[in-house]
Amino acid sequence: MRALIPNAVTVLALCFGLTGVRFAVSGEWEKAVAVVVIAAVLDGLDGRIARLLRGQTRFGAELDSLSDVIAFGVSPALIVYLWSLQQAPRYGWIFALAHAVCCALRLARFNANIDADEQPHKSAGFMTGVPAPAGAGLLMLPIMAWMITGIEQLNDPRIIAPWAALVAFLMVSNIATFSFSSLRLRRELRFPALAVIAVMAGALVSEPWITLAAIGGLYLLSIPFGMRAYARVKRRRAAEALPPDEPEAES
């Protein structure tokens, strides 16, 4: 039972993510994006539930990766293709494929390194590249902006195709990005952080798309800061690895 519960949450994430394609086929874009967001929330919970119940298994890790490929690789790619990229039949499908393939490559790299002894980014509390749920959110960011503003030009494939290529690159890149374990809050900032979370929860209820788009934009802006923060960690580690200077011999 300890392993069954987190695996059930993983399967639910897969089902919600893939259901987004069903809604996209019928042109229900709000529902299509919403179920992928729900899948991302469930994906963030399954690992924590497994650790809480001490139900981590290799099967669960493999299932989680397969679920992520479908929920955050295949499903968002098809949603964005049906929303915009199909208007460019010559090249639109290529960019949709690029997102799905890069998501699969990212997760394959993660699985291949899961038992590696040396993982510089992970040991410092960072992630390598943009994680799959965040990549799905970034890919669908133009859809959220379109739903907020109603500007029809936002689904122009000449805009969406380069955006999809950028998101695909960020997922398979080697840049360091923030993870929850890399974030540290000083004691005096914890209470204001709780207040911000409460405000965000209220904003999600009243204006979900504006709030989610703002979160996606802030995450995108955080990427250069994550790279800079990891560069500081890397320099500090390099300095600590240098042998101490030997005292000069007296003449």
Contact 85, 161 (CB under 8 A): yes
Give kind and range of the element (H or E) at residue 58: helix 58-68
Q: What residue ranges of the chain have pLDDT lower than 50?
A: 251
Taking alpha carbons only, the member of 83, 114, 113, 79 closest to residue 99 is 79
Residue 95: phi and psi, rounded to 5, are -75, -30
Dist. CA 226–CA 14, nearest whole Å: 29
- This prediction has a pTM of 0.88
User: What per-residue confidence (pLDDT) applies to 73?
Assistant: 95
Rounded to 5°, the CA angle 101-103-107 comes to: 115
Helix, strand, coil percentages in the chain from 3-state DSSP, rounded to 5: 80, 0, 20
User: What per-residue confidence (pLDDT) applies to 86?
Assistant: 94
Taking alpha carbons only, the member of 202, 142, 137, 205 closest to residue 171 is 137
Report helix, strand or coil for 1: coil
User: What per-residue confidence (pLDDT) applies to 251?
Assistant: 44
Question: Which residue has tokens 């964005």?
Answer: 80
Is the Cα dihedral 111, 42, 76, 162 positive or negative?
Answer: negative
Dist. CA 54–CA 6, nearest whole Å: 10
User: What per-residue confidence (pLDDT) applies to 247?
Assistant: 54
User: What per-residue confidence (pLDDT) applies to 18?
Assistant: 95
User: What per-residue confidence (pLDDT) applies to 187?
Assistant: 73
Taking alpha carbons only, the member of 83, 89, 39, 82 closest to residue 64 is 39
